[in-house]
Amino acid sequence: VKFVYDFTEGNKDLKDLLGGKGANLAEMTNLGLPVPPGFTITTEACKTYLDSGEEPAALRDEVSTHLKALEASMGKKLGQADNPLLVSVRSGAKFSMPGMMDTVLNIGLSDKSVQGLAQQAGDDRFAWDSYRRLIQMFGKTVLGVDGELFEDALEAAKVAKKVTVDTELEAADLKKLVTKFKRIVKTEAGRDFPQDPREQMDLAIHAVFDSWNTDRAKLYRRQERIPHDLGTAVNVCSMVFGNLGPDSGTGVAFTRDPASGHQGVYGDYLQNAQGEDVVAGIRNTVALAELESIDKKSYDQLMQIMETLENHYKDLCDIEFTIERGQLWMLQTRVGKRTAGAAFRIATQLVDQGLIDEAEALQRVTGAQLAQLMFPRFDDQAKVDQIGRGIAASPGAAVGKAVFDSYTAIKWSRSGEKVILIRRETNPDDLDGMIAAEGILTSRGGKTSHAAVVARGMGKTCVCGAEELEVDTKRRRMTAPGGVVIEEGDVVSIDGSTGKVYLGEVPVVPSPVVEYFEGRMHAGADDADELVAAVHRIMAYADRVRRLRVRANADNAEDALRARRFGAQGIGLCRTEHMFLGDRRELVERLILADTDAEREDSLKELLPLQKRDFIELFEAMDGLPVTIRLLDPPLHEFLPDVTELSVRVALAESRGDANENDLRLLQAVHRLHEQNPMLGLRGVRLGLVIPGLFTMQVRAIAEAAAERRNAKGDPRAEVMIPLVGTVQELEIVREEADRVIAEVQETTGIELKLAIGTMIELPRAALTAGQIAEAAEFFSFGTNDLTQTVWGFSRDDVEASFFTAYLEKGIFGVSPFETIDRDGVGSLVRSAVQAGRATRPDLKLGVCGEHGGDPESVHFFHEVGLDYVSCSPFRIPVARLEAGRAAS
């Protein structure tokens, strides 16, 4: 095998072997663009080194051969005393791992060659500064010296000279600093800074290999789900310098605007500087367009190259370049990151330019980007007073009064106030406060902190880790930089999409994309409409190619109508328990407590017309489309009074000697029905089998509602769904009853009702015996919420707020299995149940109605396993449509 590729030998499709950076440098080289010559050591070499602790036997010679060729083409030798070739040694894995791994610049400088570089460049200061940087970077990353020691020495040199910035240090100062740095290396690393350039290079290469396995790199990979066994490539590239005077410089550029997608000249340029200076913000950059007046020749060449790159990659590219004394060099390119809005615009622009087709356009956008575009945002025309910035943890725009504890959040929100809950960090005790708040702001913690995880789960706006804001919960206030104090009750606005925090109320504008889905906006000329037009076109492509149908989880006509506007093709889950709350709760209480058949039948009789009304409205809203109605599911105690409250009431009454008969009876029943694990208790089909008449009442309501709609010339398509089935016997019993009731309604109304009866698959046993269950079911709908709960043994109501933060931080999973389907575990049960079900009943209809139905990655999985539809909350429907299209194209 070959372990080293010259830049002329690789190409952009070799990312596995050459890493992203190396593959793209090779691609640019082969396009004839000016890339400083160099070579890439493969990920295979890295893997061998990491596995065995030694580099592959052939590597040394291969590197020598390539180095010789490089030296020949540059006309100078690595570290040569009078005219040194210098190289950079950079990591570059297949997937970008920003800042996670190591880089060493200026390899080849030594006590001797620093003189040569000074002469060659005609600039002493430059040469000593380059040497100083090498010892510092090498000392830190290769020899493991604490970087602060170098920083401190540099700082001391500046203080001694009474200057504030590095550039004010002169050659003599830097020369002294080099001596000091070498002493630090000797003391800390127990060895001299190597003077042999080849030794420098080899050690730097090993250090880059080793950096694949640092703790932070491993953690990053676990969280981003990047496999651990890929290894990194190493790029050895001849150095070019942007800090050799006013005719030199460095910059970044985009082939089009990453914010809007518009074509034009976008980027920044910094004269007489190196890449790190741009990042460090030592001086202000100028707009790239100004390069035209600084160096017209390089500018024109750069514009030409950008056009070449965009036509070649057929996408927006970002670029890093350096100009060394009037000569332009390309240091890096890659397909560039962009905002969500730009992604949609660019995809359609590229179709119009004939660069990509519609199928490819679909791959250029994601459901997550669409979801982002559907949040309301702050008006960018508004005058704002920004007081801080944290991590954009959960998108949205929230405005409210500052409160510093959950109790106040709940109290104020109950009295109708909008509040922002501000904490240093949150913990499970804050849950109720978080629910009550419009948004959450913390000064500590990252994207996997408790606040971030829980807020995302609730779809609540959250900014976390805004470290410059000092939160003092005891005194109920927060201090912003500059001494601005925000007291409890002061209004703040937080932007969960940018992480910005503002004082006062910033006006919120609705999402133009939602306005469009709602039918309130059409194509036009301004900026928002351009976005809408792009979204419209992409959605049309997706709808044309997708195989999965998309339904809504909706329990009332209002939600159903909105879902239809958003493109729903039916209702996949109507949770009837939501129809039993409110004023009907008392009726249900009576039903549960009924001692005699007569009492029970009375309450059922009262419930029947109410349920029927619900269904009629739903069928009307979804006329002509399937509506899956699930019979009552949740634990009984949810309909009964709280056991503690009731106990106290009864105890008080008893101590006064006036306990009432009804309360006593109620308390007994509540005790009798109390469960330690209600989610695993008397729920779903179990309830239907234990409370006589309950399910038949619901089926009758459905059948009569359907009949009535038919009489009104409607087209109701009802499907009856039985929840929490574990065995076919349960289903058979319910089915017999249901068939009997339906036949009865058909008889009395004279209308033939084609009601399908099916079941949820949401228990492992149901999935494992799906072949038998399909005998009694016309459709399956996977309840992946309960299935995840029962397969993992994770309580769905508790774990996300308790230990999931720790799990995410340890990288046990990158995302909650309640959010994205666990393909290997839960997913494999779904897959086998699909096969077993279809084997029994080839025309079995298959869907999913757990939260995963609206999750982008999960939609791809459901497409792959061959479901007929996904069902999700109305707001997620566009996302599901888009991802179903992407999965199929």
- From residue 626 to residue 645, what is the string marking binding to ligand PEP with x (rule CB under 6 A)? -------x------------
Q: Which does 784 bind (CB under 5 to 8 A by kind): Mg ion, ligand PEP, none?
A: ligand PEP
Position among 166, 405, 786, 800 found at the interface with ligand PEP (CB under 6 A)? 786
- Cβ-count burial 561-600 (b if 16+ within 10 Å, e if not): bbbbebbbbbbbbbbbbebbeeeeeebbbbbbbbeeeeeb
Interface region with ligand PEP, contact rule CB under 6 A, candidates 128-136, 192-200, 270-278, 783-791: 783-791
Under the binding rule (CB under 6 A), the answer on residue 578 touching ligand PEP is no
Which of 5, 818 has the CB closer to ligand PEP? 818
Which of 275, 783 has the CB closer to ligand PEP? 783
Which of 194, 626 has the CB closer to ligand PEP? 626
Element (H, E) at 269: strand 263-271
Interface region with ligand PEP, contact rule CB under 6 A, candidates 43-51, 608-616, 619-627, 781-789: 781-789
Under the binding rule (CB under 5 A), the answer on residue 318 touching Mg ion is no
Asked if 752 contacts 713 with a C-beta cutoff of 8 angstroms, the reply is: no
User: Considering only CA atoms, which of 200, 182, 181, 234 is closest in space to residue 85?
Assistant: 200
CB of 504 to ligand PEP, least distance (A): 40
Under the binding rule (CB under 6 A), the answer on residue 855 touching ligand PEP is no
Q: 46, 66, 450, 462: which is the annotated catalytic residue?
A: 450
Asked if 883 contacts 860 with a C-beta cutoff of 8 angstroms, the reply is: yes
Under the binding rule (CB under 6 A), the answer on residue 850 touching ligand PEP is yes
Task: List the strands of the sheet with 232-238, edge to edge.
Answer: 4-6, 38-41, 232-238, 87-93, 103-107
Interface region with ligand PEP, contact rule CB under 6 A, candidates 395-403, 592-600, 653-661, 779-787: 779-787
- From residue 764 to residue 783, what is the string marking binding to Mg ion with x (rule CB under 5 A)? -------------------x
CA 74, 77, 83: angle at the middle one, nearest 5? 90
Asked if 319 contacts 254 with a C-beta cutoff of 8 angstroms, the reply is: yes
Position among 11, 115, 746, 785 found at the interface with ligand PEP (CB under 6 A)? 785
Asked if 860 contacts 886 with a C-beta cutoff of 8 angstroms, the reply is: yes
CB of 783 to Mg ion, least distance (A): 4
CB of 757 to Mg ion, least distance (A): 18
* 745: helix, strand or coil: helix
Position among 573, 632, 773, 776 found at the interface with ligand PEP (CB under 6 A)? 573
Which of 84, 856 has the CB closer to ligand PEP? 856
- Cβ-count burial 108-131 (b if 16+ within 10 Å, e if not): bbbeebbbbbbeebebbbbbbbbb
Q: Is 522 a catalytic residue?
A: no
CB of 621 to ligand PEP, least distance (A): 20
Which of 500, 876 has the CB closer to ligand PEP? 876
CA 22 to chain centre: 27
Structure tokens at 841: 């009943």
CB of 786 to ligand PEP, least distance (A): 3
The residues that bridge with 627 in the sheet, in sequence order, are 571, 718
Which of 568, 573 has the CB closer to ligand PEP? 573
Which of 349, 788 has the CB closer to ligand PEP? 788
Determine the Cα–Cα distance for residues 708 and 720; give it in Å rounded to an integer: 17
- From residue 37 to residue 76, what is the string marking binding to Mg ion with x (rule CB under 5 A)? ----------------------------------------
Which of 261, 783 has the CB closer to Mg ion? 783
Position among 173, 762, 822, 883 found at the interface with ligand PEP (CB under 6 A)? 762
Which of 107, 821 has the CB closer to ligand PEP? 821
Which of 63, 631 has the CB closer to ligand PEP? 631
In order of 378, 665, 698, the CA distances from 730 in angstroms are 52, 31, 17
Position among 112, 198, 222, 575 found at the interface with ligand PEP (CB under 6 A)? 575
User: Considering only CA atoms, which of 547, 406, 595 is closest in space to residue 880?
Assistant: 547
Q: 66, 849, 852, 863: which is the annotated catalytic residue?
A: 849
DSSP string, 285-327: -EEGGGHHHH-HHHHHHHHHHHHHHHHHHTS-EEEEEEEETTE
Asked if 397 contacts 767 with a C-beta cutoff of 8 angstroms, the reply is: no
CB of 510 to ligand PEP, least distance (A): 29
Position among 577, 704, 730, 762 found at the interface with Mg ion (CB under 5 A)? 762
Q: What are phi and psi of 84, to 5 degrees?
A: -75, 140
Asked if 89 contacts 46 with a C-beta cutoff of 8 angstroms, the reply is: no
CA 335, 332, 291: angle at the middle one, nearest 5? 100
Determine the Cα–Cα distance for residues 804 and 811; give it in Å rounded to an integer: 10
Under the binding rule (CB under 5 A), the answer on residue 577 touching Mg ion is no
Determine the Cα–Cα distance for residues 811 and 468; give it in Å rounded to an integer: 28
Number of residues that bind Mg ion (CB under 5 A): 3
Under the binding rule (CB under 6 A), the answer on residue 348 touching ligand PEP is no
Determine the Cα–Cα distance for residues 552 and 546; give it in Å rounded to an integer: 17
Q: Is 637 a catalytic residue?
A: no
Position among 129, 358, 708, 786 found at the interface with Mg ion (CB under 5 A)? 786
Q: Which does 451 bind (CB under 5 to 8 A by kind): Mg ion, ligand PEP, none?
A: none
Q: How many CB atoms lie within 10 A of CB 740?
A: 11
CB of 633 to ligand PEP, least distance (A): 6
Please give the residue ranges that form the binding site for Mg ion (CB under 5 A).
762, 783, 786
Active site residues: 450, 849
